[in-house]
Structure 1
């Protein structure tokens, strides 16, 4: 499908437990063989695999032992990465993690991912930090070994705005929300440390909500050593948020069923999300705002000038597709992708080094927090029969790939 419809690059993740069923130790030879065959088929079809080592799927044995809150698992991840780098020389593009931010948020803030803990901001930041140390160690190892390919990380970067830009309290709420979801991990990636502004915000959040962090001198030595070694940054972008000052208790309600208007997000000492009336939203309350992607790209360019290049590694629209006469007439998805591609072109014109775009997704897939109801694909999947059907967007995307023109 990718070859036929003009998709010349595809994101693939290796399941850690397929290689090391318990997270370390004995190798599963059949799992290794599976990925060799998969990568060979990609190259045979002239589709370049961008391979992620960790996409929300820590092996159960390690997950139940604290996941990345347990520093032993940093070592296990680096050992797993080292094995993959050596075993799969046919891979030209590696990413260490997919969405470090949403992993910690989902596990310890929203509670939509196992272990289902809510409102523990200290665990959120500690998870982010330990995963960034894991990333840095893997990148340093890859470069020290002299492998021929490229390596980076994929961050989800939802842009944060103050509801009233003239209200200092709203501006502060947006800054703190940005630290939680973006600035903390971007600083670790490209500064090799956390700026004074970032740590002031983190300390404020923890003073209000409780908890402390274990940030070690040797951690920052690793982050510093890797900060200029990232070959690229992957940006996953779907939405932006507007923040309003808020004086009250934390309450988060995750809209996982597409019941529009059912979500709620407010954090003590930070703020609450209140979208302006003029911005559209999906049934899952995700704000559709292409300008946010432009602003985020340019923010990376401005604040982290040692970035080398950017790939938009996820962007797309999930909604309740209606399957009619063997297809889906998804004009909304086409409009969404078109408008986001237009702002990417604007960012390139304004000096940002954006080198590629990956639509999410090639075909309908399982959503970690929404199941199978929320569909993103260019191809509709009948999950009972496994039949694939091209949507209207697939034909549009094929033309785009052929002409390289957004129309």
Structure 2
């Protein structure tokens, strides 16, 4: 069956500053919490990563050559403000001007994210976004960037507010490494959404040209047995933690009664309370109809059992040992990994239908959404480098299936305007290191040479034809 994607559909590649740039301690860049956290907890570092700081002309030339006409880039906040506020670092500012100029030279539209998991250490150590002062500093940083970089036409406030709270305060795989504190998870989500709303309102009030939105990771949650009310409830509660709470804040400007009932149940079981202020909701309300786009990052779905979980227990499968994952939350339920769905070595369930369902859910429940970009999707794999390339047929199949359901969603009335493969070239993965590769271009991290994979040639052909066979 042949499927067609629209003529103006963007075929992009995605990156993030800390995962790609390297150069973590040169040209005035300030520290981020990850610098020490990787040294203390993991077996790899973020230098040199893909050395994008120096090799971006090579990567953008490859993008142009292989039909990639959009790139997600994040600005490293601590390259601009080494401590998060105060003195501006001119070398950092100059770097991003050079980078955006190269994007335009190569006809690759930059979609620029202000925050991709890398709050400056000076602010992170004071509580990150749990500290409301960080909200003010973020708004000031955003205001500076909007003035400084008029060449950017597409702005994203945050990448994946959900996984930030999850990684920092639930799983504990991100700094500061706190586990099982559900109140901190929801408070982090809320405060970051307030920061997002304030920045969107500022962007619109100042009348900047261009568009602004937010990128949410939206893993779809299903009941293991749809006939079992306990499984259905577990899927609903898990969805509230990861998706519904932040989507409500984005598009309703408040939390629906059903959402808050779920949050209150989770906190009653696990402890803690939230600080939700009247002025917070004024900010959320003011911005709810101003988002120009929603970025959806989608990699996987989860199946939930509503077992009577006595204690929260989550193990993070960092090294790609299939079957090494465990995930259960007291008062919510547990994820069932033994389902008839293929999964990666990292136990991520490969289920394209979940992306279709998530797009259509946004369309149905949040009709003020305007438009959607799929801002991340891709297959993390232990690529085998053979004969100067990677024969990554599994990645091609994965992307083809996901592009197929995007075409279906468009046919069914959803306004989806582009797809950004994670990742443009191989980068380092936050809590998995360098073995988990996603790129169209294989990076030899010793030499920093780039090699197009089989998927790069396939992607080019689809980008040029707009046709999925």
TM-score (norm 2): 0.86
SS at match of 2:238: helix
Deviation at 1:118, TM superposition (A): 0.3
1:124 pairs with 2:205: no
In structure 2, the residue matched to 1:331 is 393
In structure 2, the residue matched to 1:201 is 262
In structure 2, the residue matched to 1:261 is 323
CA shift digits 1:74-121 (9 cap, x unpaired): 000000000000100000000000000000000000000000000000
- Looking at structure 2, the residues matched to 196 and 155 of structure 1 have their Cα atoms a distance apart, in angstroms, of 22
Q: Which structure exhibits the higher relative contact order, with contacts defined as CA atoms closer than 8 Å and separated by 6 or more residues? A: 2
Deviation at 1:275, TM superposition (A): 3.3
SS at match of 1:358: strand
In structure 2, the residue matched to 1:91 is 152
In structure 2, the residue matched to 1:146 is 207
CA contact (8 A) 2:168 2:175 kept: yes
Q: Which runs of structure 2 are paired with 1:280-359 in the superposition (5 Å)?
A: 280-359=342-421
- 359-368 vs 286-295, which moves further: 359-368
1:240 pairs with 2:301: yes
CA shift digits 1:364-398 (9 cap, x unpaired): 00111111110000110000100000000001001
- Looking at structure 2, the residues matched to 305 and 388 of structure 1 have their Cα atoms a distance apart, in angstroms, of 42
Q: Which runs of structure 2 are paired with 1:96-175 in the superposition (5 Å)?
A: 96-175=157-236
Aligned with residue 189 of structure 1, among 232, 243, 250: 250
CA shift digits 1:25-46 (9 cap, x unpaired): 0000010000001000000100
- Looking at structure 2, the residues matched to 257 and 7 of structure 1 have their Cα atoms a distance apart, in angstroms, of 30
CA shift digits 1:191-241 (9 cap, x unpaired): 000000000000000000000000000000000000000000000000000
1:20 pairs with 2:114: no
- Segments of 5+ residues of structure 1 without an aligned counterpart are none
Deviation at 1:250, TM superposition (A): 0.5
Deviation at 1:276, TM superposition (A): 4.8
- Segments of 5+ residues of structure 2 without an aligned counterpart are 1-61
CA shift digits 1:299-327 (9 cap, x unpaired): 00000000000000000000100001100
CA shift digits 1:39-78 (9 cap, x unpaired): 0000010000000000000000000010000000000000
CA contact (8 A) 2:212 2:291 kept: yes
- Looking at structure 2, the residues matched to 38 and 46 of structure 1 have their Cα atoms a distance apart, in angstroms, of 12
CA contact (8 A) 1:246 1:266 kept: no
C-alpha RMSD of matched pairs (Å)? 0.5
In structure 2, the residue matched to 1:46 is 107
CA contact (8 A) 1:163 1:275 kept: no
SS at match of 1:359: strand
CA contact (8 A) 2:75 2:96 kept: yes
Deviation at 1:401, TM superposition (A): 1.0
In structure 1, the residue matched to 2:332 is 270
In structure 2, the residue matched to 1:371 is 433
SS at match of 1:342: helix
Deviation at 1:277, TM superposition (A): 2.9
CA contact (8 A) 2:337 2:347 kept: no
TM-score (norm 1): 1.00
Deviation at 1:278, TM superposition (A): 1.3
- Looking at structure 2, the residues matched to 41 and 378 of structure 1 have their Cα atoms a distance apart, in angstroms, of 20
- Looking at structure 2, the residues matched to 167 and 127 of structure 1 have their Cα atoms a distance apart, in angstroms, of 32
1:223 pairs with 2:284: yes
